[in-house]
Amino acid sequence: MPPETNAAEYDSQIAVHKTAPDTYAATLDDGWMIAAALNGGYLLSVLGNAIRTRLAEEGERWPHPFVISAYYMTAGAPGPAEVRTQLKRVGGSVATVAAELFQGDTLRMTALATFGDLAGVADDIATTAEEPAFPPPEECFGREDGGPGQMPEFFNRFDMRFPADLVGWALGQPGEKAEIGAWMRLHDREPDPLSLLLYADALPPVTIALGKWGWAPTLELTVHVRALPAPGWVKVRQVSRNMAGGMFEEDCEIWDSSGRLVAQARQLARQPRPDSSVV
């Protein structure tokens, strides 16, 4: 992992360039496909990168997402995309921006975000959430140990290690608890606040732990980024506590290698339909 390089595939594939005031072009890469759609965390990274780029035009004070909420309208596809931004309030320690990702005339997602500088926040830490007790990565399962057959192209972007007690879904032994977790890291890049938006929607939907395979379309995803992550693996855990009405909430925690809770995310998603076939 050469963190000093600028050539990480994630960075090149979320890159944006300004084409008009408040408007940024991107090229969505097919390496982030899950079944027939681009991953929602990847799209959120592209959109977040456009917001960061827009705010940099206003000054240096808001480089990091503090909170972002995305509403997914239609499935993203590889190819050209455009992010249109609108400043809502800039000033003081935070700035708020609306942003939308289009492909052609089709709206893929619409979002709101508040950015600030995580290097400048107070140094108090009083976290009572408990860090998941995963075994060390080398004692967890990797994809080389076998699994549920062909994985979507998306998962080839990461090193992933699954704790034995959270991998029953992959072994044909679903459980009763809606929980899934893994050590994750991008092959060629250390975590940073922006890439936490990717990790917040990178694992399969937690419904898979119950044996419900299939795509679980996200209606809404909100991510709170709470600290600059330390280098190394991140530990990602997703749980659901309320599956009802054909929908479920999915809570995601991201812990960095120093044991700090660096991000919390929650999404509302539709439960997989019995006729959908892939994660």
Residues that bind a copy of itself (CB under 8 A): 66-67, 69, 71, 73-74, 88-89, 94, 96, 98, 107, 110-112, 114, 118, 121-129, 177-178, 219-220, 222, 224, 226-227, 240-247, 249, 261, 264, 266, 268, 271
Q: In angstroms, what is the minimal distance from the CB of 169 to a copy of itself? A: 16
Instruction: Name the residue nearer to a copy of itself (CB basis): 186 or 227.
Output: 227
Q: In angstroms, what is the minimal distance from the CB of 1 to a copy of itself? A: 26
The upper half-sphere exposure of residue 277, i.e. CA atoms within 13 Å in the direction of its Cβ, equals 4
* DSSP assignment letter at 176: S
Q: In angstroms, what is the minimal distance from the CB of 171 to a copy of itself? A: 22
Q: In angstroms, what is the minimal distance from the CB of 163 to a copy of itself? A: 20
Q: Which residues are CB-neighbours of 201 under 8 A, at least 6 positions away? A: 39, 40, 41, 44, 218, 221, 252, 265, 267
Instruction: Name the residue nearer to a copy of itself (CB basis): 143 or 266.
Output: 266
Q: In angstroms, what is the minimal distance from the CB of 132 to a copy of itself? A: 13
Q: Are strands 23-28 and 218-225 parallel, antiparallel or unpaired?
A: unpaired
Q: In angstroms, what is the minimal distance from the CB of 219 to a copy of itself? A: 6
The upper half-sphere exposure of residue 108, i.e. CA atoms within 13 Å in the direction of its Cβ, equals 26
Q: Which residues are CB-neighbours of 91 under 8 A, at least 6 positions away? A: none
Tokens of 200: 């917040």
For residue 161, the Cα-to-chain-centroid distance in whole angstroms is 17
Instruction: Name the residue nearer to a copy of itself (CB basis): 25 or 112.
Output: 112
For 181, list phi and psi in degrees, rounded to 5. -160, 160
Instruction: Name the residue nearer to a copy of itself (CB basis): 64 or 157.
Output: 64
Tokens 């890469």 sit on residue: 29
For residue 204, the Cα-to-chain-centroid distance in whole angstroms is 11
Tokens 């991953």 sit on residue: 39
Instruction: Name the residue nearer to a copy of itself (CB basis): 35 or 73.
Output: 73
Instruction: Name the residue nearer to a copy of itself (CB basis): 160 or 196.
Output: 196
